[in-house]
Amino acid sequence: MNEDQFIKALQEQGISVNLTQHHQYSTYYQKLIEWNQRVNLTAITNKEEVYLKHFYDSLLSLWHFPIANKSLKVCDVGAGAGFPSLPIKIIYPEIKLTIIDSLNKRIQFLTELTAELGLDQIKLLHGRAEDFGQDSHYRGQFDLVTARAVAPLNVLAEYCLPFLKKGGQFIVLKGSHSQTQVELQEAAKAIQVLGAKLAQVKQTHLPEDEGERTLLLIEKTLDTPNKYPRKAGKPSKQPIK
């Protein structure tokens, strides 16, 4: 998917890209490749693949689960090189975005990138989701939490759901429908215990036959019990069952 095809594909979904945004995506790609020579940010470096498998893929939720309020407080857990939240932030710059990642070099990349892109209302946090999830400055503070390719859903739920306020939404980007169904079964107890419910499951495909995608919308219905998230490392070693 080249740049023109990317813009056309978004237009077909009702999303327009102006010249500033076009330039921001181009700069994003250039900085990603530049930094990737020093820091392992992505195995995908071909420009057309980055536009399809990182940029377009990150934006899938915008037409499956449209954002009505463009000034939402959003938290992206384990964003890595900024996916999916920064491609979304380019489209909706009014979003108030917090990104959490455990590797400081990735935070350094995102700091330089977001300055270069001219994006504001962004907070970049270096640390573990389990620690920030127990911090009153972040716990229960967000309207929307998102994550992509971070962990199995039963673990990811404990990382992410504590950040949501009641009525908030957790959007999860997963791969094949069959594998996601397995993860949903294994995560059913965790989602309930953490004060949430599965609201919607959407299946789709990337263009050019580049694979299945499953998008999950999970709604926060109750406050997460104070014991969650547990200490760093425990959710991955002993998922809620």
Q: Are 217 and 200 in contact (CB under 8 A)?
A: yes
**C-alpha–C-alpha distance, residues 18 and 37, integer Å:** 30
Q: Which residues contact 189 (CB under 8 A, 6 or more apart)?
A: 154, 240, 241
Burial-class residue 69 by CB neighbours within 10 Å (0-12, 13-18, 19+): exposed
Name the binding residues for S-adenosyl-L-methionine: 78, 83, 129-130, 148
Look up tokens 């919308």; give the residue. Answer: 217
Tell me how far apart the alpha carbons of residues 15 and 202 are, in angstroms, rounded to a whole number.
Answer: 19
Give the annotated binding-site residues: 78, 83, 129-130, 148
Rounded CA separation 76/90 (Å): 14
